Structure 1
Amino acid sequence: MKSVLIVEDEVGIHDVLEFYLENLDVEISFAEDITTAKNKMGEHTFDLILSDVHLKEDGNGIDLLKDVKSINQDLPFIIMTSFISALDAKEAYRLGADEFVAKPINQDELRNKLMHLLGSESEDSYKQNEFDDDLFCEVPLKSFISGKIAPFDIYIRIRNGKYIKVSNKGDNYNYEILKKFEDKGVEFLHALKKDFQDYTLMNLKICKALQDNKKIDDSKRMNFLVHSHNIIQESVFKLNFDDRTMSYINYYAKSVLNVLSKSHSYLNLLDHLRLECPDIYNYSLLSAIYALAISEKLEWESDERKTKLFLSGLLHDVGMKMIPEEIREKNPLYLTIEEKEELNEHPKHGMEILSTLHNVPSEVILAAYQHHEDVRGSGFPLKLKGHKISPFSKIIYITNHFSRYYLQGLKQDLANANASARAYHKFMDIHENLCEKSHLEAFKKLFPGESLD
């Protein structure tokens, strides 16, 4: 019979662990601190050690792991982790921990990992904690600050293909824990892409749209995603975003697009824009990317707000597809009165189009209707002022105009840096006094030291 030493200072958990491991061919001993654990190890030979990271008395699980591995590198050692001990998990892995189980402990996971390390064939459902990196996405640490319950299983990345689960969906955590992570320079945790997309879907409240029972054309979906992801990738590099902002945009933008592409109605609308009105789709996607960058500088914490903001940027100008191309492409200075009136109807068209889709968030519809309104009341179609304009619409006002100016610069064969600088200064010259001040300041932070040289 194999012998297992469990080091856990919460006596109440002893009975739980004993229950979890009953009917296995193992003998279990418990220790509440490191001194007791070492004494028992001196008196008895154990085949495996299972220890919590955090112990209250004379050290922690990392200290015990280090001592055990210095004496017997081959003795299997499992660390029990929690969200609070995520930083310790990396150190434990470096020191030779063989496995990890997240607290609150899943019985099957514990049994499988324990029996695997003991060389038993009785638990054949065990899987090594090795994953394809493509299965995971980065989750900005700030995403968790607004809540106290993990919305999905949370992992930390140790190396390529090696992830440790440090929190189960539904676990509690608090701001103090996150602050410790931030102080240590941690900017991202990880989640399975599928889990995050399900969470994003819930936040976007488009469940019915994604369950319209209409078959999705897989090749159409993949072409749309490849094209869109390429634009995102090119944009975050060409526009000289810092690494933090680049990761932030990649995380939200690609995840939301993946979710939307599973909806027959959203995919049809967006792919139509991409193929039939590429100019509209390109500057709308760029507008959405910049909207996310602004939200990062504003330190928005809510995932729901950020996903809705990206969707607002992506869909804000769908009404333009109702405007004849010759009017869309014409220099505004040469539009006739009738053409200008027709062009100015596009926000209304956008609102009407989005209102026909299932469960489009109201903020997104308002952004389509109000993205040409400015804080001084000189915009259209309603000449709204200040607080009467939705916050999302105020941000999209900025990113819509900038994105158009930037792409116009690229069409004029300006280099990326010059196109970006020209677009920034043109926007500031025309629109600086028409924007919400806090949003404008966040926008300026994306262009430190920008010049036309």
Structure 2
Amino acid sequence: MFRENPLALKILLADPSNEWLDSTAAYLKQNMYEVEVVNSGKKAQLSLYNRQFFAVILNLAIKNHTGLEVLKFVRAKHAGQRVVVMLDSLEMLKKDDLDVQKLVKMGATEVMVRPFTMEQLKDVLEGQQTIDDLVKNIPKPTGSTAEMEVSESDANFTKVKIEEFYTGKAILFNVYIQLGSNKYVKILYAGDTFSLERLNRYKNEKGVQFLYFHNADRQKYIQYCNFLASKIIASEKVSGPAKVKMMKATAEKLIEEVYSVGLKPQAVEESKQLAQNMYQLLENQTDLYQVLREFQEFDPNAYTHSYSVTLFATAIIKQFEWQSKVMIETTALACLLHDIGKVKMPRELVDKRPSQMSQAELEIYKKHPEFGDKILSNNLMIGQNIRQIILQHHEYFNGTGFPNGLKGNKVLSISNIISLCDDFVHFMITDQTAPPETLKRILVNTELVKRYNSVILENFIKIFVDPEKITKNSSLPSNSRMVPHKRAAS
């Protein structure tokens, strides 16, 4: 019997195996989900007709009606319904001439291939939750919410600058300030009403620079920041620098999450949302050229670097007549993940520059594009085009790049743009110079200039110029080719 619980997210499990249904339902119920189980497609459609679900977990192998028939029914009758499609193997798709991207077009929001763990399934469901879902399920504070000192390992926490802490009226998770090594004070409780005055008091009177929260809550922070950014990008009341700053905070935590726990489904979804937000910023911010001229971010950490590369690379794409929403979002997603292969490198190499490495270390470093391609090959929601761009993001137009020493039109244009922006951001940090000055350093160095397609360099110059005073270039970079694409994640 299906019992209504107004506070629980409701899940429909549709699978031909009663044993799997029982074990999965028990696990999800332990994790505060309300669950209904069905072992046929017909029963699944009847359940969908009678009630609403947060998500449907559908095995494509289900019978009477088939999984594909149920998926088509959902798309026709319940547009917007979240559907996690399960496959016993990828071979299941061949008989129907399908692939993962076709399933997505048919209405699947996620595709999982067995075997997978219950924890992985839980991660997928959490990745589907909206801000409204998160807010609805915030635990209500019980007892006193006075400040409380706690002793806990520093390794369990992540931090943000106090001026970059974004939240709604209700706090989504517990927030702390650090007293010292492994010592914290809980200053805000999940469910508390947010007070800007209180936060400013910590900053101005007590000199607090950072706020801390648990690593387990980092995904909630990313999701909220992405949501907030999507709402303010078109607002004329919020300045361009403030929008760029918010998206930077989001990107930093997103890349930190990927480096820390891997590219989980939630991170993929938030990466796509951040890419969409980047496109909207480029479309709506008429003074972006001025924002880019004044952009100053000299933090050398890998998380900030990925965002800076994303910001400048997408701005370059915007200068071409052939630019599109899909192209910009594809570029943004590739930029955000371009250094993901570094998670396979020894930790001490991640923040080293090549000039500081030994020959043996340099050989490992030059493999990180291939490491990234291999990592992404295991993610069904990241397509071949993104992988190609990332594999080539250190290739140069003159053939001096790595890992394969490609040259000329064998180097993808987006990859060449990313390699340019990657070098540019490193120079900007090393020299502590404003973006226009950093670009001049590249332009006066004939050996550096040879690395990049000349048309790409021309369009890089244009991102710092008032668009009213320039015309877009309608040609592709000379001797270049673009990545085949249909959508940002395809």
Tell whether the structures are fold-level matches, with TM greater than 0.5: no
Which structure's CA Rg is the greater one?
Answer: 1
Structure-2-length-normalised TM-score: 0.38
Structure 1 or 2: more helix by fraction: 1
